[in-house]
């Protein structure tokens, strides 16, 4: 006879199917824009080129040999060693490109496997069902698993790394130290926060062992506790230095390398990641704004409760240390809806919340109010995904009406709207006036028979510069021997087809 599934198994299956339902509703198999678009194009490029180069496939390279007119967001791609590459980790593209025998749009649905592994990890650590539901549906974890990204493998690797290092802290078993080091070491190949997380964990362990348990410093510095991680980190640095000429790799080259922040700027970044902070392009939904229950659980901790319980002291110390380190070092707030730079703190915070749940239940009105707040925020984030997917679908439908061997756009919203077609379609983006001469020079060299210039159809106060750029492109094209009199329009896009004038 088959054993009936327990409550935890039913909850795990239900939450996982809910993620799948959201993905189907949003149609993540076509939801490629911004950084998910670059990540998937990196993956496709690696597969199609037989892992011979990390360079992104760029059909319009003849028109743009210096990679100045890439149709992808220039904050996400850059020229490195004479190839156009993205700022995203090779581990991500290598992992997913192994499944290139499948249709690439199916790959985002793999996130359900990471969610199941995440829930299984929490269950193995005796996390009770109410806490399990809260930390899966009411935190940054759920939205990070909706679309295509490196967040799935990163969350699992850091989660298992933390779990084993926590066991090692309690038991001092060699195999737990090794496995914790291994999992966290592998995580840094997906996101650099793995380094900060490991540092926070090791500092916490050292402080507790030396100042609370009064152990000798030399015992605390035993190589088994950190050496495997250091070896993996060294390999990571060597790979990046060899591949990108910098030990921290692409993330450093695109983030740290292009910012001059003041201390005040860093405070704003921290506030934006943790709570929210007004920005010119909108407000962010910070980590604790979305999940205030973690703050409530910490506030309810008593001093003697923490000092007498080494487990709670361990988790709380890591949260405080990591928040400080991440707040000081983060190059930006991710320009994102959610506080993803703090996602690793979900694990220690989950243990704290699980320990405090019985205490929090004593004040049900506060607890239920927080529940409502968290799930409303999750609903808001899902709604943003849904409506943006609808707009993206409309844009792609309009772009499909422009048939040309070369597309020239005036902004990355239009050029990126072609989605995964950019792997085969010749699209360039002349995004600034200082690129006009470069465009004209290469237009004269390549002399295509025809091309189409696209811009936003409606003129507003905010896009006057873009309209001027569009006019300049038409002038430059006509000066290069093209007739651009044929106008094409859709609801939001204005196009001019430019045809080569035959010389008599």
When mean pLDDT is compared over 152-156, 213-217, 264-268, 359-363, the highest value belongs to 152-156
Residue 458 confidence class, pLDDT cut points 50, 70, 90: confident
Residue 88 lies in a domain: no
pLDDT at res. 1 = 39
- 328 and 437 inside one domain: no
Question: Are both 19 and 146 inside the same structural domain?
Answer: yes
Last residue of a domain, one of 320, 352, 384: 384
Q: Sorting pLDDT into bands at 50, 70 and 90, what band is 88?
A: confident
Distance CA 407, CA 398 (A): 14
Rounded mean pLDDT, 405-419: 94
pLDDT tier at 260 (50, 70, 90 boundaries)? low
In a domain, 328, yes or no: yes
Helix (H, G, I), strand (E, B) or coil at 27: coil
Residue 66 covered by a domain: no
Domain edge (last residue) among 316, 351, 384 = 384
Read off the pLDDT band of 276 (50, 70, 90): confident
User: Beta-strand (E) ranges in 381-480?
Assistant: 407-409, 427-429, 450-456
- Are 359 and 435 in a shared domain? no
Whether residue 399 is contained in a domain is answered as: no
Instruction: Tell me what the mean pLDDT of segment 477-485 comes to.
Output: 93
Give every CB contact of residue 439 below 8 A, 6+ residues apart in sequence.
69, 408, 428, 430, 473, 476
Residue 69's alpha-carbon distances to 404, 452, 495, in angstroms, are 18, 15, 18
At residue 89, the pLDDT reads 80
Q: Does residue 334 carry a pLDDT above 60? A: no
Residue 450: which CATH number?
3.30.1710
Query: 85 has which bridge partners?
Result: 78
- 205 inside domain: yes
Q: Would 57 be classed as within a structural domain?
A: no
Whether residue 398 is predicted with pLDDT greater than 60 in this model: the reply is: yes
Instruction: Indicate the pLDDT class of residue 2, thresholds 50, 70 and 90.
Output: very low
* Percent of all residues in the chain with a pLDDT value above 90, rounded to a whole number: 69
Integer Cα distance of 310 and 297 in angstroms: 17
> 246 and 205: one domain?
yes
Contact 386, 26 (CB under 8 A): yes
Residue 137 and residue 262 share a domain: yes
Same domain for 416 and 380, yes or no, is: no
Q: Name the residue range of residue 431's domain.
A: 407-500
Q: Which contacts of 412-416 are long-range, i.e. CB under 8 A and separated by 24 or more positions?
A: 412/71, 412/72, 412/73, 412/74, 414/454, 414/455, 414/456, 414/493, 415/71, 415/72, 416/33, 416/34, 416/37, 416/71, 416/72, 416/73
Average pLDDT, the chain: 90
Give the mean pLDDT of 358-383: 91
Q: How far is CA 356 from the centre of its chain?
A: 31
Question: Do 307 and 231 sit in the same domain of this protein?
Answer: yes
Provide mean pLDDT across the span 238-245. 90
Average pLDDT over residues 192-219: 88
Residue 308's SS3 state is helix
Q: What is the pLDDT of residue 254?
A: 74
Report residue 454's pLDDT band, with 50, 70 and 90 as the boundaries: very high
**Whether residue 125 is found in the same domain as residue 274:** yes
Q: Are residues 416 and 375 in the same domain?
A: no
Question: Does position 149 have pLDDT exceeding 70, yes or no?
Answer: yes
Whether 6 shows a pLDDT value over 70: the answer reads yes
Residue 166 included in any domain = yes
Are 119 and 261 within one domain? yes
Same domain, 238 and 323: yes
Identify the pLDDT of residue 333.
Answer: 55
Whether the pLDDT of residue 274 is over 90: the answer is no
Q: Is 84 within the bounds of a domain?
A: no
Q: Tens digit of pLDDT for each residue in 154-187?
A: 999 999 999 999 999 999 999 999 999 999 999 9
Residue 308 pLDDT level (bands cut at 50, 70, 90): confident
Q: Do 352 and 439 belong together in one domain?
A: no
- DSSP per-residue string spanning 81-119: TTEEEESS-HHHHHHHHTTTTS-GGGGGGGHHHHHHHHH
Total structural domains in the chain? 2
CA dihedral 401, 405, 410, 416 (to 10 degrees): 70
């Amino acid at each position: 006879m088959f054993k009936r599934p327990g409550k935890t198994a039913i909850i795990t299956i239900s939450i996982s199917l809910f993620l799948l339902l959201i993905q189907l509703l949003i149609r993540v198999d076509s939801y490629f824009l911004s950084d998910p678009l670059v990540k998937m194009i990196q993956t496709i490029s690696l597969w199609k080129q037989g892992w011979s180069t990390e360079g992104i496939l760029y059909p319009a390279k003849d028109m743009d040999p210096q990679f100045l007119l890439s149709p992808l967001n220039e904050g996400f791609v850059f020229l490195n060693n004479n190839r156009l590459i993205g700022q995203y980790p090779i581990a991500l593209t290598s992992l997913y490109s192994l499944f290139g025998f499948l249709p690439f749009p199916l790959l985002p649905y793999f996130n359900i496997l990471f969610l199941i592994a995440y829930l299984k990890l929490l269950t193995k650590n005796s996390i009770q069902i109410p806490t399990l539901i809260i930390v899966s549906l009411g935190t940054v974890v759920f939205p990070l698993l909706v679309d295509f990204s490196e967040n799935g493998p990163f969350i699992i690797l850091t989660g298992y790394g933390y779990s084993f290092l926590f066991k090692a802290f309690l038991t001092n078993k060699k195999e737990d130290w090794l496995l914790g080091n291994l999992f966290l070491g592998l995580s840094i190949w997906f996101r650099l926060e793995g380094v900060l997380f490991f540092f926070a964990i090791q500092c916490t362990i050292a402080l507790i062992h030396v100042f609370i348990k009064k152990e000798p410093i030399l015992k605390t510095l035993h190589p088994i506790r950190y050496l495997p991680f250091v070896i993996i980190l060294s390999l990571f640095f060597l790979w990046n230095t060899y591949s990108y000429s910098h030990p921290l790799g692409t993330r450093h080259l695109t983030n740290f390398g292009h910012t001059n922040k003041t201390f005040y700027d860093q405070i704003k970044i921290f506030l934006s990641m943790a709570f929210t902070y007004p920005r010119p392009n909108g407000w962010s939904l910070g980590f604790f704004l979305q999940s205030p229950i973690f703050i409530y659980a910490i506030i309810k901790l008593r001093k003697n409760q923490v000092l007498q319980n080494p487990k709670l002291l361990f988790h709380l110390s890591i949260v405080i240390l990591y928040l400080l380190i991440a707040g000081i070092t983060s190059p930006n707030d991710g320009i994102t809806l959610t506080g993803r730079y703090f996602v690793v703190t979900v694990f220690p915070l989950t243990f704290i919340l699980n320990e405090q749940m019985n205490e929090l239940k004593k004040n049900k009105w506060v607890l239920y109010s927080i529940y409502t707040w968290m799930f409303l925020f999750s609903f808001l984030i899902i709604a943003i995904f849904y409506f943006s997917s609808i707009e993206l679908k409309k844009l792609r439908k309009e772009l499909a009406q422009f048939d040309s061997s070369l597309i020239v756009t005036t902004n990355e919203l239009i050029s990126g709207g072609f989605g995964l077609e950019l792997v085969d379609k010749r699209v360039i983006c002349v995004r600034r006036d200082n690129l006009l001469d470069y465009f004209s020079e290469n237009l004269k060299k390549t002399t295509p028979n025809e091309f189409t210039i696209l811009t936003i159809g409606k003129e507003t106060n905010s896009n006057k510069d873009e309209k001027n750029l569009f006019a300049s492109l038409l002038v430059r094209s006509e000066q290069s021997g093209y007739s651009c009199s044929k106008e094409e329009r859709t609801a939001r896009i204005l196009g001019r087809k430019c045809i080569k004038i035959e010389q008599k």
